[in-house]
Amino acid sequence: MVAVRGLDFRVRARMASGAGKLLTVAGLVSACSPALGIVIRDDMPDASYQALAAQPQFSAAGRLIYNSGSGNFFGGSGTLIARNWALTAANVADNQAPASWRFDLGGQSTRVEVAEVFIHPGWALSGMAITSGFDFALMRLATPITSVTPAAISRRPSPAPGTAIVHTGFGGTSTGTTGFTSQTPNVKRASTNELEATDFFTLFFHCCDFDNPATGDATGLEGQLAPGDSGGAIFGNFGGAWQVLGVHSFIADWNGDGILANYGDIMASNRIEPFVPWIDAIIPRRRA
């Protein structure tokens, strides 16, 4: 049996206190909590992952902050896909009232309030199953962000296994030997990987595994999603144009060792192309 866990930082904390829920989905045990930070190779400095994330093609990668009434707290990752629209995961968006959310690009200078939240209807119909493939949400921002160019979403067929990609997200971190250990979010990182075959779960997902550098299969900045990365983007480069291929949803203890996000585990991001009609149906009608 494979343990599957979502990537939302707050839900993970709530589950640790005993308030989380377990769902049995297609023979998998699914712990419905969102994703945190990117776990890195043992032999590469964290600064290299932060430097990749700081490159201009990933400037639209942002984070979600929620206001509890007593302060602001990190809630997950997201991506600016239009001046006043952010794309994230439903497992992040449905954890707080819409009016409590804020979105920024890593600093308070770009932080804006969220005016409306739209969660894909399939999320509720699936019983909020993390492996359903409907883990999408759109957030209309109250104020447009004009300091960066929004990321383009992919409208092309799903790329083949072996395609090079980049994951982005905010959150804590650790290394592939120990697995996820840090509970400190709010640092933007990016990692490289290659798409695996689509038969890990369903065709709704882009899946990658976390290769140990000792095998010779790891990319230069190989990484693994972890709890905080939920809602972040998987990027691909096609003809020199970077595009969002999907939204980070969950990770799985594929090697069965009981350690979260270490070498041998896999990560799954919802493919965006089947949901482009849903995105297009919402954004044009509600432009600020």
Q: Three-state SS string across 175-232, please?
A: ECCCCCCCCCCCCEEEEEEECCCCCCCCCCEEEEECCCHHHCCCCCCEEECCCCCCCC
Measured in Å, how far apart are the chain's first and last C-alpha atoms?
47
Please answer whether residues 39 and 80 qualify as being in contact, where contact means their C-beta atoms are separated by less than 8 angstroms.
no
Per-chain mean pLDDT for the chain = 84
Query: Helices marked H in the chain — which ranges?
Result: 9-16, 46-53, 90-93, 121-125, 276-282
Low-confidence ranges of the chain (pLDDT < 70): 1-37, 183-185, 198-202, 285-288
pLDDT in the model for residue 272 = 95
The CATH number given to whatever domain includes residue 85 is 2.40.10.10
Residue 158 to residue 141: CA distance in whole angstroms: 29
pLDDT in the model for residue 22 = 21
pLDDT in the model for residue 232 = 95
Both 76 and 170 in one domain: the answer is no
pLDDT in the model for residue 281 = 95
Q: Which of 210, 229, 271, 222 is nearest to 12 (CA)?
A: 229
Angle at 257 between CA 253 and CA 259, to 5 degrees: 65
Both 217 and 188 in one domain: the answer is yes
What torsion do the CA atoms of 68, 69, 70, 72 make, to the nearest 10 degrees? 50
Please answer whether residues 63 and 171 qualify as being in contact, where contact means their C-beta atoms are separated by less than 8 angstroms.
no
pLDDT in the model for residue 286 = 52
Both 267 and 248 in one domain: the answer is yes
Both 79 and 177 in one domain: the answer is no
Long-range contacts of range 279-285, CB-CB < 8 Å, 24 or more positions apart? 279/81, 279/87, 279/138, 279/153, 282/118, 282/138, 283/82, 283/85, 283/138
Both 87 and 222 in one domain: the answer is no
pLDDT in the model for residue 107 = 78
**Domain span including residue 254:** 3-53+153-272
In DSSP terms, 167 is beta-bridged to 191, 234
Residue 126 to residue 103: CA distance in whole angstroms: 27
Both 199 and 226 in one domain: the answer is yes
Both 29 and 143 in one domain: the answer is no
Both 43 and 7 in one domain: the answer is yes
Residue 285 to residue 148: CA distance in whole angstroms: 23
Both 46 and 172 in one domain: the answer is yes
Strand 72-82, strand 241-252: pairing = unpaired
In DSSP terms, 205 is beta-bridged to 270
Cβ contacts of 70 within 8 Å, gap of 6 or more: none
Residue 43 to residue 222: CA distance in whole angstroms: 10
Both 100 and 17 in one domain: the answer is no
Both 168 and 268 in one domain: the answer is yes
pLDDT in the model for residue 215 = 95
Cα radius of gyration rounded to whole Å, the chain = 17
Q: How many domains does the chain have?
A: 2
Both 43 and 181 in one domain: the answer is yes
